[in-house]
Amino acid sequence: MAHSGGATTPVKRSSASQSSEPASNHLLRVGPVVADELRGTVYSGFGALSFIDSLYPVCDSAHVKALIDCTFDAQSERWKSWPKEPTEEAVIQWLKQWTKRLVEVFGAGKARSRVRNSGHVPLCKHIHSLLTWAAFCLLTQRTAANGSALRKPDVIFIDRNLSLPCPEEGDQSCTAECEEEADYCTVCAVSWDRVRVVGELKENAGESGSQRQADRKMVLTIAHRVREIFGTQPGRRYVHAFSLCESLLRCFLFDRSGVVASEHFNIHSKPELVVRVFAAYLYGSPDWTGFDPTIQVTDNNQHPRTYDPTAQDRGDPFITFEVDSNKTQLYLDPEPLFLQPTIASRGSVCWRARRADSDRGGWEFVVKDQWRNKEREHEGVLLKRLEGVEGVAQRVHHEDVMVDEQRDDTADATRRGLDFDSSVPADG
């Protein structure tokens, strides 16, 4: 599979070089590498309305009005119960209660996520290429493990029905309702391969003179979280994220070309946009969240749907393509042979694959999925020229990934509708 890009791929350090580091590596080691990887790829300052209109689904207006009517004080023009002292812990508690109310108003049956604290220059366009709803929630203040380093995001969204190993209950698991109890469990284990959306909170929005520096630091902080998501979720196309500094909300999208970010906007002055943002985090489909709709699994009714590893999908995912007008289906081993844990990169992934009629031991193919710069030739074309050469892998098929009958690329698909003339290039 292949995705597409703009100019030639820049030669610079990549955080993939740190992928072999033990779990004890720290931000001090990886930080400069991630900063170097993102340099020149960060675009910020998009108007809040235009950014959200371009990237976020539309909400039912009746639901939005109903939620605002019961949770927003029109007289004071502030969200009800918003803490007088917006410390991180106070904001987390408000956010958890407010999103719970959002789900009640919008309908819990369709909610996909839940919110909890977690633990411990020209635009470069990339094309996605191929070679060869569940419920969500918010988590807060727990270390997310299973990555290359211990990261502690403030807020993460996970599948609403996800069962979590709970040391307090022995062999038992904590369900979505764990934190709804008065004495909820505080030690549920969460791994990065289950994280859908990540958020960071900050008590002080920063002085105006240091705003640019504070913004850059926030981008890098979130980038470290996103790197872990890309590094544990093969096939992830992009990641949505947000920051909330005092009452200033900012939305981010991290993809294989870098980062785009909205302007800061006050949650009290734009309540409709706030509802729309968090409704997307809670109800967004796997496709919107950033999973590849061309990699599918079969549901209980034997219908194909987008493979969502954060929802604990069962069975091997599969891809479908045509060779000589014949439809071919290959099942993928969910554990990749190779995964590049980077952000602004090709994001290469290699899977073992087997025919649909083979058992799990019949892995006879390798599928390579990556993002390529639009100016670069498809790797499959090069392999086709080398057919018959001893020692070179035999190419079976190659194509650019198509989503909704459109080539999957970062400029015209992932970042659809964004006006880069209104953005500000930032030093990532």
Q: Please indicate, yes or no, whether residues 326 and 364 belong to a single structural domain of this protein.
A: yes
Q: How confident is the prediction along the chain (428 residues), in pLDDT tens digits per residue?
A: 555 544 334 434 455 554 544 333 444 556 788 888 999 999 999 999 999 999 999 999 999 999 999 999 999 999 999 999 999 999 999 999 999 999 999 986 666 676 666 543 334 456 666 665 323 444 444 445 555 545 578 899 988 766 555 555 554 555 544 544 333 344 455 788 889 999 999 987 655 557 788 899 999 999 999 999 999 999 899 999 999 999 999 999 999 999 999 999 999 999 999 999 999 999 999 999 999 999 999 887 888 999 998 887 777 899 998 888 889 999 999 999 999 889 998 899 999 999 988 887 789 999 999 998 888 888 888 888 888 888 888 888 888 888 888 888 888 888 988 988 877 777 64
Q: Tell me if 403 is assigned to some domain.
A: yes
Q: Please indicate, yes or no, whether residues 188 and 120 belong to a single structural domain of this protein.
A: yes
**Per-residue pLDDT, 424:** 74
Between the two ends of the chain, the Cα-to-Cα distance in Å is: 28
In terms of DSSP H, where are the helices of 43-138? 48-55, 61-71, 88-106
The counts of H helices and E strands in the chain are 8, 28
Chain centroid to Cα 369, Å, comes to: 17
Q: How many CB atoms lie within 10 A of CB 179?
A: 21
Among residues 267, 289, 311, which one ends one of the domains? 289
> What is the spatial distance between Cα 290 and Cα 233, in angstroms, rounded to a whole number?
10
Q: Please indicate, yes or no, whether residues 274 and 357 belong to a single structural domain of this protein.
A: no
Using DSSP bridges, classify how beta strands 349-355 and 338-339 pair: parallel, antiparallel or unpaired.
Answer: antiparallel
Q: Is the dihedral of CA 403, 404, 409, 410 positive or negative?
A: negative
Q: Tell me if 425 is assigned to some domain.
A: no
**Per-residue pLDDT, 151:** 55
Q: Please indicate, yes or no, whether residues 332 and 257 belong to a single structural domain of this protein.
A: no
Q: Tell me if 424 is assigned to some domain.
A: no
Q: Tell me if 314 is assigned to some domain.
A: yes
Host domain of residue 79: 22-289
Among residues 226, 261, 289, which one ends one of the domains? 289
Q: Please indicate, yes or no, whether residues 302 and 330 belong to a single structural domain of this protein.
A: yes
Q: Tell me if 420 is assigned to some domain.
A: no
Does residue 118 contact residue 156 with C-beta atoms inside 8 Å? Answer: yes
Q: Please indicate, yes or no, whether residues 258 and 364 belong to a single structural domain of this protein.
A: no
- Total number of domains in the chain: 2
Q: Tell me if 9 is assigned to some domain.
A: no
Q: Please indicate, yes or no, whether residues 336 and 243 belong to a single structural domain of this protein.
A: no
Q: Please indicate, yes or no, whether residues 314 and 281 belong to a single structural domain of this protein.
A: no
Q: Please indicate, yes or no, whether residues 150 and 98 belong to a single structural domain of this protein.
A: yes
Quickly tell me which residue has 């008590």 as its tokens.
Answer: 203
Q: Tell me if 418 is assigned to some domain.
A: no
**Per-residue pLDDT, 38:** 92
Q: Please indicate, yes or no, whether residues 318 and 217 belong to a single structural domain of this protein.
A: no
Among residues 289, 318, 333, which one ends one of the domains? 289
Amino acid at position 327, single letter? K
Q: Please indicate, yes or no, whether residues 199 and 104 belong to a single structural domain of this protein.
A: yes
Q: Please indicate, yes or no, whether residues 89 and 194 belong to a single structural domain of this protein.
A: yes
**Per-residue pLDDT, 61:** 95
